[in-house]
Amino acid sequence: MRFSILFTAGLALGLAAGSARAQAPRYVTTGRVVRQSPALDQVLAPGAQLEIVSAGHAHVEGPVWVPDSSMLLFSDTKARTIYRWKAQGGRSKFLEMSGYTGRLPYSDEPGSNGLALDKQGNLLLCEHGDRRLALLPLSQKSGKRT
């Protein structure tokens, strides 16, 4: 499971790079890209590699690339934390208490377990513990709506 999530995060990062020329990896690489269609060259540079950009998480879900901010967001459901990754600066916490805002123990994986962007660029969070879909405007410091 962890490999598939890291693969997805690596693929999201690779897709975000667009048609940029392949460069030497800065991170540990894993797996390989299997090109079943030449159309993949339109979104992923030939020679691109899957890089592990963050490690040490219990259960990673929902990677989403935010093009306006050049960042990758992903959830660690057990830690109830959404992390941000940027090429300049690496990993940092983006949102704590994501997915479950209660105080009592709830489930082994109470955090947000799915992330997406809507057409306006807002972050959509599938919040497992709170059992809701929340919307977070990325253009503001606060203002989460459910």
Residue-range domain boundaries for the chain: 2-136
Mean pLDDT of 35-62: 88
Q: How confident is the model at residue 121 (pLDDT cuts 50, 70, 90)?
A: very high
Q: How confident is the model at residue 118 (pLDDT cuts 50, 70, 90)?
A: very high
Specify the pTM: 0.73
Q: What is the DSSP string of the chain?
A: -HHHHHHHHHHHHHHHTTTPPP---SSEE-S----SSGGGGGTS-TT---EE-----S-EEEEEEETTTTEEEEEETTTTEEEEEETTTEEEEEEES-S---SS---S--SEEEEEE-TTSPEEEEETTTTEEEEE-TTSSS--B-
Looking at the domain 2-136, which fold is it?
Answer: Thrombin, subunit H (2.40.10)
